[in-house]
Structure 1
Amino acid sequence: MPLIMMSGFPASGKTTRAHQIKGFFESKISELSPTDPRIARLKVHIVSDDSLGLSREAYREARPEKDARATFYAAIKRLLSQNDIVIADGMNYIKGYRYQLHCEAKALLTPSCVVHVGAPAEKCKEWNVSAVDEGVDESGGKGEGPGDVVGGHRREAYAPDVLDNLIFRYEEPNGMSRWDSPLFTVPWMDEDIPGEEMWNAMVNNEAVKPHQATILKPAVEANYLQVLDKATQEVVLAVVEHQKMHGAGGSVTIPEASNKIELPTNHVGLPQLQRMRRQFISFNRQHTAEKTSLKNMFVEYLNGELE
Structure 2
Amino acid sequence: MPLIILSGYPCSGKTQRAQQIHTHFTTKITTSTDPRIKRLKVHTINTSTLNLLRTVYREARTEKEARATEYSAVKRLLTKDDVVIADGLNYIKGFRYQLFCEAKALLTPSCVVHVAAPPEKCREWNSARKAAAEAEKEGGNEGEGEGEGNGDGMPYEDDILENLIFRYEEPNGMSRWDSPLFTVPYIDETPDLDGIWDAMVGNAVKKPASESDYLYELDKTTQDVVTLIQEHQRSIGAGGGSVPVADCAVALELPSSSITVPQLQRIRRQFIALNRQHGVGKERIKELFVEYVNAQFR
Decide: shared fold, TM above 0.5: yes
d(CA) in 2 for partners of 1:109, 1:12? 31
Aligned ranges 1:134-149 → 2 under 5 Å: 134=132
How far does residue 41 in structure 1 lie from its aligned partner after superposition?
0.6
Q: Secondary structure at the match of 2:112?
A: strand
TM superposition score normalised by structure 2:
0.61
Which of 119, 122, 127 is the equivalent residue of 1:121? Answer: 119
Amino acid of the structure 2 residue aligned with 1:161: D
How far does residue 205 in structure 1 lie from its aligned partner after superposition?
4.2
Residue equivalent to 2:198: 200
Q: Secondary structure at the match of 1:155?
A: coil
Question: Does structure 1 residue 82 correspond to structure 2 residue 83?
Answer: no
Aligned ranges 1:31-42 → 2 under 5 Å: 31-32=31-32, 35-42=33-40
d(CA) in 2 for partners of 1:205, 1:54? 36
d(CA) in 1 for partners of 2:130, 2:153? 8
How far does residue 176 in structure 1 lie from its aligned partner after superposition?
0.4
Residue equivalent to 1:297: none
Which of 103, 106, 118 is the equivalent residue of 2:104? Answer: 106
How far does residue 132 in structure 1 lie from its aligned partner after superposition?
2.2
d(CA) in 2 for partners of 1:79, 1:161? 33
How far does residue 202 in structure 1 lie from its aligned partner after superposition?
0.2
Structure 2: tracts of 5 or more residues without a match = 134-150, 205-298
After superposition, give the CA deviation of every residue in 1:257-280 in whole Å (9 maximum; x if it has no partner): xxxxxxxxxxxxxxxxxxxxxxxx
d(CA) in 2 for partners of 1:198, 1:154? 23
Amino acid of the structure 1 residue aligned with 2:182: F
Residue equivalent to 1:26: 26
How far does residue 50 in structure 1 lie from its aligned partner after superposition?
1.4
- Computed over aligned residues only, the root mean square deviation of the Cα atoms, in angstroms, reads 1.3
Distance 1:40 1:170, change over 3 A: same
Equivalent residue pairs, number: 187
How far does residue 194 in structure 1 lie from its aligned partner after superposition?
2.6
Aligned ranges 1:161-200 → 2 under 5 Å: 161-200=159-198
Which of 152, 157, 160 is the equivalent residue of 1:159? Answer: 157
Q: Secondary structure at the match of 1:11?
A: coil
Residue equivalent to 1:132: 130
Structure 1: tracts of 5 or more residues without a match = 136-152, 207-307
**Segments ≥4 residues shifted beyond 3 Å:** none
Assess if the C-alpha contact under 8 Å between 2:15 and 2:152 holds in 1. no
How far does residue 86 in structure 1 lie from its aligned partner after superposition?
0.3
Aligned ranges 1:1-307 → 2 under 5 Å: 1-32=1-32, 35-134=33-132, 155-205=153-203
After superposition, give the CA deviation of every residue in 1:255-306 in whole Å (9 maximum; x if it has no partner): xxxxxxxxxxxxxxxxxxxxxxxxxxxxxxxxxxxxxxxxxxxxxxxxxxxx
d(CA) in 1 for partners of 2:43, 2:191? 17
Amino acid of the structure 2 residue aligned with 1:11: C
d(CA) in 1 for partners of 2:155, 2:85? 21
Assess if the C-alpha contact under 8 Å between 2:173 and 2:179 holds in 1. yes
